[in-house]
Structure 1
Amino acid sequence: MIIIMCMVLTGCWNRTELNEIGITSATGYDRVDGNWLITFQVIVPSAMAVGTTGGPGGSGSAVHVFSTKEKTIQQALNKSNLENARTLYFSHNNVLVIGREAAEEGISQIIDLYLRTAEARESIYVLLAPGRASDVMKDLIPPESLPGVALAQILKKEGSMSGFLPPIKMFELAKQISSDSKSAGVPEIVVVGDGGESLESLDVFKKTSTTEKLKLSRLGVFQGDRLIGWMSWQESYGLSWITDKINMSSISFRCPNPESGSTHNYSSFRITTAKTRVNPIKEGNHFKMQLKVKLRGILIESTCRADLADPKVTGEMEKAIVKEIHDYINLGWRAVQRLHTDLPGFAGYVHRKYPKDWNEMKSNWDEELAEMKLDVQVKATINHPGFLSKAFVEPGRKGREENE
């Protein structure tokens, strides 16, 4: 019995101590002169201790950033051992940033790496950089001490609360560019402002704000594994309605029958539930895509003077909301046709419902997409107008507005 127990309880023979690994929170990929430039953002454990962080009262950065350049990605990873005392650990990697040149040349090699090996996780968020990814990796996001974690939180919040630039993970990116549509959208992260602080600065957290910050800007459009163009956040927001990626968002709209001379007549509607159903309809030898959008929400801001307890008033507001969503959808659809790419994934709907027709037209799907029409049907419902039936107006305000 003792011999058998000794054979079973052998311990962790292949263990790796925590003080031997470098936990990577973000990774950047660039192409420079035909080589791969890989940038690593590694957590510094000693700086994460209470009282020694780069936050208030601290004096050091919580992450260390360095880059290596080689012909292949794996060779660059191996070369990192020459300048880093710890073995890089990627299981807690939150964000992958791809430079513009690398995205334009093709990202299939990056996708292959993340889907092939067990060390890299395919659930990582993917971002684009307008220039080099290494430049983005060196910027802090005050007041967070771990920029990679902060970027992941920004993306997660964006996907659940607005839908302007919906985030995408590695496995989703691989799935979309290998689907019938062969298209995908990836958000871009940019550095805005000038004269800001980088990771080399130790005094950034002693200021109440910095003039330089990281911000989601627009949507990069991929056809296959290559970046082919961009969409503004307004166009991307319209695309989010088409692709049913709106979870919670807000819509601003003009008040029905605004008062004459009043310029502050916008109200806000918070969406609590939204659903888009797509149905391809065959018309002759071509297809029309029918979109049925239903949304519900509450009124969170109003400058309208009308009585919101009147169903006719809320009905007019619902029509104004519908018009705004129609405009966003049309804006996104025009951008899709301008880029000649099937970002909404309409090819998949046609393939599933009309497999025989798809086999005949898949070779010239781009031409079919360019001529395709949308039948957009939107229904908006205001569940609650808020606690006030009328907009709050300061006494005497109406008279002053009329005199102006």
Structure 2
Amino acid sequence: MKAILILVAGASLLLTTGCWGSLEIQTIHYVTAIGADYKDGEFVLYAQMLDFSDAAKLEGQAKTKKPTVYVGKAAGKSAWDAANKLQASAQQQLFWEQVSTIIVTENVLKADKHLEFLEFTNRYKEIRYNTWIFSTKENIEDIFKAQTFFKFSPLYTLLHEPKEQYRQNSSISPVRLYQFIRSLKDKARSSYLPSLTFNAAFWRENGKNMKLLEIDGADLFQTKRWNGWISRTDLTGWQWVNPKTQSYPVALLADDDISAVMLFKKPRIHIRPQAKWDKAYFDMTITLDAYLVELREAMTENELMERYTKLLEGQILHVFREGIRIHTDVLNLGDTLYRSNPRVWQQMADDHSFVLHNDAIRHLKINIHFNDTGEYKFVPQKQKDEDK
């Protein structure tokens, strides 16, 4: 009996001394980003792969070479067809669990193929819902090979990590895949994708201009349909109706010169919808925390507040009118009516769930809470009155 037990134990050890189905990590090809274009009736699928050793930041060691970026490209009648071609041509097994970013071109949006591509990402179970998603007019391969600072991995670019820049300058909020899909399905809300481009105007490396990634606008959708693109300049003011906004500087100009710079944070938005004469109207109140960063013109505190209030109101109304132009409720005003009175919203909404008109914003009020002036001093109101 003892001999039998010894033989059984020995056999068990032999069977458990290895993982026969396991793969060495260096033999696995990890896809870090995918992109979709649409040309000549076919999907063109791109895949970015990185050498993860390039991502290591060892203390006290400078990087001596630029990171290696591999880009795969395949065309097919569907995204599935193109993905299968990429996998068939890879030298080792492709793993898609590490995809952190998805990007689609304007060609996909204009051809109304974005829903078909989203169906592909939904059914490809390895691709997670918390990936970032962008749009672009640029060549996807060029975006996947975008330059970085200090020879860091592309994982440290706007493409893969947009949150850090947004904390400092909350212009257009980055979007997760699940957020985009959820908003597309919401019949009373608009959806958007931040659009990526290159900017070579500000940074140089060893005397040569660097082409760095930048968000230059957004592609807008209403009821799953792509309605058009709006530039970042024309979307200035969008951040004041976005509760996610963390920090955004605004310069006050006079005669093409800067009079003051204020940093605004934490907008609190209150929108009251009302139906009147078969039309929807909205009363908006927005409260902002403000910090004075620079003051170059002598003025009173009240004068500064009045000028900034007028400026911010103008920005919001401009964004509203840009949305009207492409038949999109950029500020999601209609959603507030839908939440408060869905029956009335249903009566007013057109075939694309649009309830706005040129006079839909009836009242707009900006409240600025002044928190800090730094070392700057305002002109006393009494002195200002005497000077007049």
| 8 Å Cα contact 2:288-2:369 kept in structure 1 | yes
Task: Find 1:274's aligned residue among 267, 270, 276.
Answer: 267
* Mean Cα deviation higher: 149-158 or 103-112: 149-158
CA deviation map 1:232-262 (0-9, x unaligned):
213323223234342211121258xxxxxx8
Letter in 1 for 2:318: L
Alpha carbons of structure 1 residues 145 and 70: separation in structure 2 relative to 1, 3 Å: farther
Task: Find 2:320's aligned residue among 321, 329, 333.
Answer: 333
Is structure 2 residue 355 aligned with structure 1 residue 349? no
CA deviation map 1:247-303 (0-9, x unaligned):
211121258xxxxxx874521111232211222122232221121100112111111
Q: What's the % identity of the aligned pairs?
A: 17
Letter in 2 for 1:64: Y
Alpha carbons of structure 1 residues 364 and 35: separation in structure 2 relative to 1, 3 Å: closer
Tell me which residue corresponds to 1:200. none
Task: Quote the offset at 1:220 in angstroms.
Answer: 1.5
Alpha carbons of structure 1 residues 329 and 154: separation in structure 2 relative to 1, 3 Å: farther
- Indicate the SS of the match to 2:158: helix
Task: Find 1:147's aligned residue among 148, 151, 154.
Answer: 154
Alpha carbons of structure 1 residues 113 and 120: separation in structure 2 relative to 1, 3 Å: same
Task: Find 2:43's aligned residue among 33, 36, 53.
Answer: 36
Task: Quote the offset at 1:144 in angstroms.
Answer: 5.0
Letter in 1 for 2:45: I
Tell me which residue corresponds to 1:291. 284
Measure, in 1, the Cα distance between the counterparts of 2:347 and 2:56: 63
Tell me which residue corresponds to 2:383. none
In the TM superposition, 1:205-220 aligns within 5 A as 207=206, 209-220=208-219
- Indicate the SS of the match to 1:235: coil
Alpha carbons of structure 1 residues 153 and 364: separation in structure 2 relative to 1, 3 Å: closer
Measure, in 2, the Cα distance between the counterparts of 1:286 and 1:87: 58
Is structure 2 residue 346 aligned with structure 1 residue 359? yes
Alpha carbons of structure 1 residues 45 and 165: separation in structure 2 relative to 1, 3 Å: closer
**Where in structure 1 are there 5+ consecutive unaligned residues?**
197-203, 256-261, 307-312, 392-404
| 8 Å Cα contact 1:247-1:273 kept in structure 2 | yes
Tell me which residue corresponds to 1:381. 369
Count residues with an aligned counterpart.
363
| 8 Å Cα contact 2:28-2:94 kept in structure 1 | yes
- Indicate the SS of the match to 2:374: coil
In the TM superposition, 1:80-229 aligns within 5 A as 80-105=86-111, 106-143=113-150, 145-152=152-159, 155-181=162-188, 183-193=190-200, 207=206, 209-229=208-228
Task: Find 1:67's aligned residue among 50, 73, 78.
Answer: 73
Alpha carbons of structure 1 residues 76 and 271: separation in structure 2 relative to 1, 3 Å: same
- Indicate the SS of the match to 2:234: helix
Task: Quote the offset at 1:187 in angstroms.
Answer: 1.5
| 8 Å Cα contact 1:240-1:246 kept in structure 2 | yes
What TM-score does the superposition give when structure 2 sets the normalisation length? Answer: 0.82
| 8 Å Cα contact 2:320-2:330 kept in structure 1 | no
Q: Pairwise CA RMSD of aligned residues? A: 3.2
- Indicate the SS of the match to 1:348: helix
| 8 Å Cα contact 1:244-1:277 kept in structure 2 | no
CA deviation map 1:324-383 (0-9, x unaligned):
210110110010110111222233221221122123223456663124521211100211
Tell me which residue corresponds to 1:19. 26
Measure, in 1, the Cα distance between the counterparts of 2:315 and 2:164: 21
Alpha carbons of structure 1 residues 27 and 263: separation in structure 2 relative to 1, 3 Å: closer
**Where in structure 2 are there 5+ consecutive unaligned residues?**
380-388
